Each structure stands twice: as structure tokens, then as C-alpha cells.
Structure 1
Amino acid sequence: MNKKIGLLMVTGTILMLTACGKQNSNSTTVSSSSSSSLLVAKSSAKINSDNLTPQEAVSLISTYCGLRYGGEWASMTKQAERDGLQVKLYPSSKYQLSDGGQGVAYDVTAGGKSRGLIYTVNNDDVNIYQNVKTNQKNNKLATISKSAMASYVNQEGQGKLVSDLAARAQVVDKRNDDSAASSTSNDISDHKYGRLEAINVPSEMQGTWYSADNDADSTMTFGPHSCTYDDGDDKGTVQLYKQDPQFGENADNYENKDIQDATKNWGKTSFFNLDGARWLNIRGWTQGAGDGESYAVKTETINGRQVKILVEGGGAENLVDAVYYQSKDLAQQNADKKFADLHYLDNN
């Protein structure tokens, strides 16, 4: 994601747009004595940290934390085995976290009531918290990569638990619940500024994706109804809505600064089919000219393995200008790699 996105977002004309297995120097030291008690009986099933769905990711993190830290994490994970796992997404600014990650706080629960079990994500690394309170400073327990988590979980024979939890896990985006300007509900009653309803992001697209193309490290994180971008210099979150065509037909709406300011974090969103893929197109809410940016999930063969990638295309011909992967390592290993079935911007 290049720098033009953040700049255009501020003006209201959006073109839209884990590697250490130990605690880092800022982490609070935590005893591992609780790991002696397994969460479930051991099995030979293994979990791979590559290409995790959002449901698999929260299940892996919950299982690891339950094993490693015990206490509330273990209690919650055991309850989740019975009642189902849920993770609610909030802006990390909701809490006073020592590391807010990429701006999203993941509140992990079982039974619906928050236990203060939070994590944030920084590229491939996960920052882990417990006993989080909204009105006080909260220091992380540790920062650890998903690959290191998977190795530990597999070593303890708890891979099957991750799969079982993922089968019933729910991801709920709550980032806009406190905002009067927007809503993640599909029933938006005010229809202000032409907003009809929230767009449902395909489940296979949800989660964090990484790219090292174009000499820049960047991430795209899709929630159920939102998109967060971060290229190191610019970052932000866009809520994805369907726009009333009648709003778009009035050119005065695009030039009204009050409307631009009120909708600067909204994306005009639609779907289209091209080259055998279903694309999610995102444009600025008050964007006049331009085709915005479009995203699709495809499967490619990399080193003999089938790997899911997120393709970003733009312009009238929807030419590819970046490819995203589900891990930072894969992104670095395949920086600027060209796939034969994709049509690239720099080839035209």
C-alpha cells in the first residue's frame, strides 16, 4: 500500500486503498509453571501457522496462552471448548496498552463476557495481555510469533484443540460501536450521507495480510466490515459501506467539506467478477474520478505448496500493483514475485 492512500484519506478522497519465540525486552516476565497442566488430552494432530484463517489464529493464540500462562487464559480456553470461542475487535485506543500493535485490540472471550484477555498484532508478532482494564496502563505479558506458538502447541500435543476451537470461533468487529458517525451493523437506519448498509467482507479475506512488494513493507487487515492499512508511514481504518446511487449522482456531495470530513473513514464498496475471481472494490466515499483499489483472494503454487494470496489491483484495467501473503516471512521471500496468471501494472 503506497503513501498516497493515507494522504488521500485525510482529504476525504480515498483511493484506498510472528518472528521471535521469546519475550522481548519490554515484556513482563511470566512464570511458565502453569504449562504443566494440559488443556485437553494429547493428540498427534498438528497445526501449521501458515495461511491461518482469523478463526484459526484466535484459536491458536488462545490455546498457546492457556498452556503457557494458565489462569484466566486456561479457564477461558477450556470454557470455549464447551461454549465456543469469540473474539471482539476494538480500536486499541480503547485501552492503555503498552503496545497497541496495528491499532486493533482483540478481546478473547467464551460465554460473551470480557475477561480482560487481550492481544494485539505487530506484523507476525502477537502482543499478549491479561487482566486488561480500560482505565489503567496495561503491560503486555510477552510478544511471540504465531510460528513459535504453533511449535509450542504441537510439542504439547494440543493441535487438535486449535482445530476444534476454530470450527466454532466467531470474529465480531466492534470498532464502530462507540461511534455516532458509523456502524458495523447491516441495518443502518439513518442512511446519512448516502450510507445504506455495511458490506460483509468475505471470510477468506478477513485477517492480516503482508506485502514486501515495491520496496515497502505493508499490511492490510480486513475485518468483517472494515479494512485497515499500514505501510509504515501511513495507516488508517476504513469502514466499508454500500452507497446509495442517488447520493453519488449529486456532484455537490463530493465537494461539500462537511460531508468529506464526516465520511473520511468510509469506503464506497462494491463487488465484481473478473478473471475467475470475486473482487472487493473500495473507493473514497466522496471520490469522483478514479477506480479505487480492488482486492481478491487467489491460490498460487509456491515451492510446491498451494498458498492463498491477497491480490491488490487498481485502475480501469484492474492491474495488479501488490500481492499480500498471510505471513511476513512469505511476503519477504516472495517480494515482487510475478505469477503467470496475474496482470501486473508494471508490465503495461
Structure 2
Amino acid sequence: MDKKIGFLMVTGLSLLLAGCGNQNNSKSVSSSSSSSSLLVAKSNVKIDSDNLSPQEAVSLISTYCGLRYGGNWAAMVKQAQKDGLQVNLYPSSKYQLSDGGQGVAYDVTAGGASQGLVYTVNNDNVNIYQNVKQNKKSTKLATVSKAEMAEYVNKKGQGKLVNDLAAQAQVVDKRNGDSNASSSTSSTGDDHKYGRAGIIDVPSEMQGTWYSADNDSDSTIVFGAHSLTFAEGSDRETTQLYKQDPQFGEDEDNYTSEDVQNATKNWGKVSFYNVNGSRWLNLRGWTQSAGDGSSYTVKTETIDGKQVKVLVQAGGAENWTQAVYYQSKDMAQQNADKKFDDLHYEDDD
């Protein structure tokens, strides 16, 4: 079983957000809103504006606004590094916006509490607002394409911040007044909706971006504090990680209900186990009734005489190694399909 299939077994399609486009029509309406200060230390990580996941899109937009306009946008981004980035989706008619876009207002928050930082999407462009309040007219700061945003963020060396925010970002659709919609996640995940009994805290050493070139294909895994994002080619999927109430699994109807499947398509059922001195995180689809899912652990291997941390993905009845991930693309390419003596592979048997 290759790494892509192993992951796709345990996750569904991500919620699709409207694209942000490539046209440039930016014009700031507030001379006091611009800022040239950096949000975090510079890095060499670059952001590609094509094929962004919903979480990456809101993270790119937030980072750009924090850099470009400073003020409340910058403060929110800095707070989101601690509390997590969350965007709530409302009908744009909820507010009196000068450009309601395609009918959806994206209210960007740090941890869920609205701070009046909103954007809408109109064709290929993003309309940016701040200090938005109900029953009060709001004029946009600017209209900017995501391609321009990525270029600006890369120039400022803030690409790693976009990835870090995206790894923990939440997308909550509140247009139907249901905070438990398919894209929703509560702050604790213990509302027992569809058997959800609490969020999973990903081990700190596992969190971050990992790269692999095994199995003749480049792929990336990003572990957030409570999420996993898998990307291969143009495919990109994010799974929120939860504990599942054992009683939920005892009812077979839960696994066959389309309503349950649709509502939990972005949720993953996680458990932990120990094998040969390593602690593994096992991930399965929320309504997955058969199969072993995919398991992950961080190990230290010797590469060219140096001790290197790697992320191991395994699956199958005997927890066979399916792929090894590294902390840089270059190292992944240099060690593509490399086998390590302390890992268990299917052809070893």
C-alpha cells in the first residue's frame, strides 16, 4: 500500500473555499493601516498560490493582511499563533459591506472570537475589511489577488508562518446557524456530536512539515496541534483529529449513514499504541469499520554519519513501513526509498 492510498483511506475531501484569484486591483483606503514590520523571523519557505487548501488560503490572506495593514490584523495573526486561526463563514448580508463578493463573509479570528476582520471573494479577488460590525457600513481596505499576496509574503520571508497557521487553522460554516456543520470544530471537540469525545493533542516532536520522495512521488505531511494535512501533487486534504466515543462505534448504523459520513468527512479517529519502544499515532476514518488505517511515529536515524529525525508512516496488519518523511525537501530527495535497518518493511517477511 503506498503512502497516498494509506492516507486517503482515513480522510475525506476538505471543505472547498472560493478561490482568491490572480487579478490585481488593490487600492488601500486607509493610510494609517499599512505596516512594514515582520510578524515572525524570516525564513526561506516559499508559498505557492496555486491549489491552496481552505486552511492555507485563510492563512495566506491573514498573513498578508497582518504584514500589509498591521494594526488589528497583525495583532490577530500573532494571537493566532498561540490560540489557533479560525475563520467563520457567514452570509455577507450579515454585514453592510461595500462589496459582498459572492455572498460569503469570511470572519477571521484567533480562537473563534470575532475581531471585525473580514474578507469576501469576488471572482478572482479578495476584498479585505477591518473593524466590521453589524448594522454599520464597512468600506474595504483593498482588493488583492492571492498571487499578489503570495508574492508579497514570500518577499517578506513569512512563508513558514503561513504553513504554521494553516496546520492548526479551523474552518467553521455558520451560514445555516449550525456550529456543528461538516466543517465545524469546537474548541474542545467534546460535544459528543457524532461521537466526538475530545480533540487529540499531536505530540510536539511530530508537529511541523515533513517531506517524502518515496514510492516515486513527492508528498508532504503537516501535523498541526490537532490536525494532519496530506499533500501530493494537486491533491491536498486536511483531517481534524479527535477521540471517538466507544459507544458511537457500537452502532453499525453510524458507519453507513450518509448524513454522518458527510458531517464527519474531515474528522479522523485517533488512538495511540506502543511497538518496539516507539509510540505510534494511529489514524482511521471516522466511519471506517475495517482496515488498520495509517500510523505515524518520529524516530532518529543515522544518515551520512549524522543523527536525523524522521517521520515514519506505516500501515497494514503488521505495521509495515510505507514511507519515511524528512524535515526538508532536499533530504527527502537525497534519501528517496532509502530503507533503515530498524524499520519493518513488508518485503522483509
TM more than 0.5: yes
CA contact (8 A) 1:3 1:233 kept: no
Say yes or no: does 1:281 pair with 2:287. no
Aligned to 1:139: 145
Say yes or no: does 1:183 pair with 2:200. no
Output the TM-score relative to the length of structure 1. 0.59
Say yes or no: does 1:321 pair with 2:322. yes
> Alignment partner of 1:338: what SS?
coil
2:256 maps to amino acid? E
Coordinate RMSD, CA, aligned: 5.5
What is the 5 A alignment of 1:264-343?
264-343=265-344
For 2:170, which of 168, 171, 174 is the aligned residue?
Answer: 174
Q: Residues of 1 paired with 2:75 and 2:199: CA distance?
A: 34
Alignment deviations for residues 256-293 of structure 1 (CA, whole Å, 9 cap, x no partner): 23322222222111111122222111111111121110
User: Shift of residue 341 of structure 1?
Assistant: 1.5
Q: Structure 2, unaligned stretches of length 5 or more?
A: 14-21, 25-35, 46-59, 90-105, 119-125, 133-139, 175-179
CA contact (8 A) 2:314 2:323 kept: yes
CA contact (8 A) 1:173 1:224 kept: no
Q: Residues of 2 paired with 1:258 and 1:86: CA distance?
A: 31
What is the 5 A alignment of 1:1-348?
1-3=3-5, 5-6=7-8, 9-10=11-12, 72=69, 88=85, 138-140=144-146, 141=148, 173-176=169-172, 178=174, 180-181=181-182, 182-189=184-191, 191-232=192-233, 234-348=235-349
User: Shift of residue 215 of structure 1?
Assistant: 0.5
1:308 maps to amino acid? K
Q: Residues of 2 paired with 1:253 and 1:147: CA distance?
A: 45
Alignment deviations for residues 134-163 of structure 1 (CA, whole Å, 9 cap, x no partner): 98753354758x99988x9xxxxxxxxx9x
> Alignment partner of 2:309: what SS?
strand
2:200 maps to amino acid? I
1:138 maps to amino acid? V
Q: Structure 1, unaligned stretches of length 5 or more?
A: 13-25, 29-37, 41-45, 51-60, 93-104, 117-128, 153-161
Alignment deviations for residues 191-239 of structure 1 (CA, whole Å, 9 cap, x no partner): 1222111111122222221111000111112222221112225332212
2:145 maps to amino acid? N
CA contact (8 A) 1:177 1:184 kept: no
Output the TM-score relative to the length of structure 2. 0.59
> Alignment partner of 2:343: what SS?
coil
Change (3 A) 1:299 1:176: farther
Q: Percent identity?
A: 46
2:229 maps to amino acid? T
Q: Residues of 2 paired with 1:300 and 1:115: CA distance?
A: 45
Q: Residues of 2 paired with 1:312 and 1:238: CA distance?
A: 16
Alignment deviations for residues 31-61 of structure 1 (CA, whole Å, 9 cap, x no partner): xxxxxxx979xxxxx99879xxxxxxxxxx9
User: Shift of residue 132 of structure 1?
Assistant: 7.7
Q: Residues of 2 paired with 1:81 and 1:91: CA distance?
A: 18
